[in-house]
Structure 1
């Protein structure tokens, strides 16, 4: 075990990753050596940043805590701290069940961890982070919390009400990140499209993105986690008029049948959803849409599921993820519906949906063969450089495998010609 080394382990989403990066900057400023997600944890202290979204994520977080608790019992670790969404939600239960943990902190209470180490929080570093991603891209969290009341979702229980960050503060963070070498920003929030309603009393996402786009050195801006109801249509103009705002939108739709949208408390109808998709496609030609869909929500009939399949065939999302409904305690669905659809049927519906999406993804990628695309290079592997187009977000979207016919640098842009396609990858050669 290495003295003064802290291992930080992040589970869950990119919003959690930003929290870990902020904590790591403070720990480094206080004299610690810090490793993020090390293959072999060797520090005398470990911090686990947990996820509490759905069953599988909670199980992964608990197993990770237990693994480190065992290491502490075996004297391979001096101190174990746990923070994040799971602890925000189940603090008392975790304290009782895993007494080996020295301290638990909620999602927003991690600053106390620094004090518990006998160190001080550096206010002058409040906008600074220790970037854990490749140095050319970063996640940019513009708000925290969610005001929506979707039936199945536990996020508001953990994050509380929506809190937008001030525009000027976000701009300053972007400038600092650009100065450190970041070129590409994944703009994230629990709900992007609510940005501004709380502190500016109006939709401010279009203005925010336009202002970020004007900052010198910002090459790509990509938008994640939009909500479809009351969509701020001026955002489409911003995408159209600014070349560095990627023609990409991650907008979670969950379902399409009116029966399901009502039961899920999504605040829009099937027709409104179709109209929204049509308008986005018309106003931003060539846009790639990412969505998330849910199967097996209480009350989902076979007819509802058939409507969902037809919707996917109609819209032909370039990027799509799906997950089975998880009966989460504390949610509206947990308190008002019974989870009557079997896990087997949920899985069957999800598998069929994703098989359909794989065919659509292949056809979408095959349409790119012969085209010249701008790509940013993320890493080098034995046979290929691995890059992404403006239509691809890190970790979740397809990659471009670029033949090594020319020397390329990590973090640089280049133009490539697509020569081959698979459902979730493109093959290309440097022009």
Structure 2
């Protein structure tokens, strides 16, 4: 085991990743060497930043903790700490079940871990991060928590009410990141479009993104996790008019039948959803919409599912993910509905929905063949440079593969690439 090395393992979403990066900066200011998500952790201390969103994520977090417990029992690890969403929610149970963990922290008090190790918070590092992403892009979290209370979702229970970060803090962080060489910003929050409402009752997301786009050196801004109810339409004008705001919107819709939307407490109707998608496409020509849908929510009938399939065929989402409902204790649906859609029905609906999407995706990507697109290079892998267009977020969306043999390219640089071929998930091209 390496002395003064801390291994940090991040589970779950990019919002957790930001927390890990903030913590790593503090550890390093205190003289530790930090390694993130190592395949073979070798540090004397490990910190696991857990996810508690759905059943599969909780299981993965617990299995990871148990692997490290084993390493500690075998003398390969001196101290083990756990933080994040899972321990925010189940701290008491976890302390009883897994006593080998030295201490459990929640989602907001993890800085106390420095004290536990006899170290101090370094004020000059507050709000600064050790980036774990490639040096040219970063995730920027603009708010924490959520006020929406959808029937199935445990996030408000874990993270509490929506709290927006002060605008100047965010803009200063962007300026600092640009000075460090970051060009591309993934803007994230539990509910992006609610930004500012907790401060003065008004939506301020449009103003924030507009000012962000005016910072010199900001090449791409991509928006994640909007909500369809009370969508701030002026945000679309900023997307259309500012060339560095990517024509990309991640907006989780969950379902389309009024019966399901009502039971899910989504506060939006089928017609409002359809009108919103039409408006988004009209006001931002060429936009790529990413959405997430849910199948198997309590009470979902064949008719509801047929409506959902028909909607997916109509909407032709450029990017779509889907998942089967899993009951989360403490949520409205767990307490008031019976989880009455059998597991095999959930799975077959999920498979059927994703098969429809696969055809749509294949068709959309094929339309790009012959076009010249601006691509940022993320990495080199085997015989290819791997890059993305403005329509692709890291880790979740299609990539562009460019043969290494033709020309030397540099990670973090933009190139004009002529698309020569496509499959359902990726594009192939050559630099022009």
TM-score (norm 1): 0.99
Q: Distance in 1 between matches of 2:176 and 2:423?
A: 38
How far the C-alpha of 1:295 sits from its partner, in A, is 0.2
What is aligned with 1:178? 178
What is aligned with 2:53? 53
SS of corresponding position for 1:210: helix
Query: Which region of structure 1 is more displaced relative to structure 2, 285-294 or 381-390?
Result: 381-390
**2:355 is aligned with 1:355:** yes
SS of corresponding position for 2:387: strand
Paired residues for 1:266-345 under 5 Å: 266-345=266-345
What is aligned with 1:105? 105
**2:163 is aligned with 1:163:** yes
What is aligned with 1:372? 372
Paired residues for 1:22-421 under 5 Å: 22-404=22-404, 405-421=406-422
- Report if aligned partners of 1:226, 1:251 keep a CA contact under 8 Å in 2: yes
SS of corresponding position for 1:48: strand
How far the C-alpha of 1:123 sits from its partner, in A, is 2.0
How far the C-alpha of 1:407 sits from its partner, in A, is 1.2
How far the C-alpha of 1:343 sits from its partner, in A, is 1.0
Q: Residue deviations 1:125-171, cap 9 Å, x none?
A: 11210000000000000000000010000000100000000110000
Q: Distance in 1 between matches of 2:347 and 2:114?
A: 43
TM-score (norm 2): 0.99
Q: Any stretches of 5+ residues in structure 2 without a counterpart?
A: none
- Report if aligned partners of 1:403, 1:430 keep a CA contact under 8 Å in 2: no
Q: Distance in 1 between matches of 2:20 and 2:335?
A: 33
What is aligned with 2:6? 6
Q: Residue deviations 1:183-222, cap 9 Å, x none?
A: 0000000000100000132000000000000000000000
What is aligned with 2:21? 21
- Report if aligned partners of 1:9, 1:37 keep a CA contact under 8 Å in 2: yes
How far the C-alpha of 1:403 sits from its partner, in A, is 2.2
Q: Distance in 2 between matches of 1:382 and 1:335?
A: 51
Q: Distance in 1 between matches of 2:128 and 2:243?
A: 27
Q: Residue deviations 1:22-50, cap 9 Å, x none?
A: 00000000000110001111000000000
Q: Distance in 1 between matches of 2:203 and 2:189?
A: 14
Q: Distance in 2 between matches of 1:341 and 1:301?
A: 9
Q: Distance in 1 between matches of 2:60 and 2:390?
A: 31
Flag as ranges the 4+ runs of structure 1 deviating above 2 A.
Answer: none
Q: Distance in 1 between matches of 2:380 and 2:297?
A: 42
Q: Distance in 2 between matches of 1:285 and 1:40?
A: 46
Q: Distance in 2 between matches of 1:77 and 1:380?
A: 33
SS of corresponding position for 2:185: strand
Q: Distance in 1 between matches of 2:81 and 2:109?
A: 12
Q: Residue deviations 1:288-333, cap 9 Å, x none?
A: 0000000000010000000000000001000000000000000000
Q: Any stretches of 5+ residues in structure 1 without a counterpart?
A: none
How far the C-alpha of 1:350 sits from its partner, in A, is 0.3
SS of corresponding position for 1:323: strand
How far the C-alpha of 1:383 sits from its partner, in A, is 1.3
Q: Distance in 1 between matches of 2:32 and 2:11?
A: 22
Q: Distance in 2 between matches of 1:382 and 1:57?
A: 31
SS of corresponding position for 1:391: coil
Q: Residue deviations 1:197-253, cap 9 Å, x none?
A: 001320000000000000000000000000000000010000011000000000000
SS of corresponding position for 1:129: coil
- Report if aligned partners of 1:195, 1:203 keep a CA contact under 8 Å in 2: yes
Q: Distance in 1 between matches of 2:142 and 2:200?
A: 14
Q: Distance in 1 between matches of 2:154 and 2:426?
A: 33
SS of corresponding position for 1:199: helix
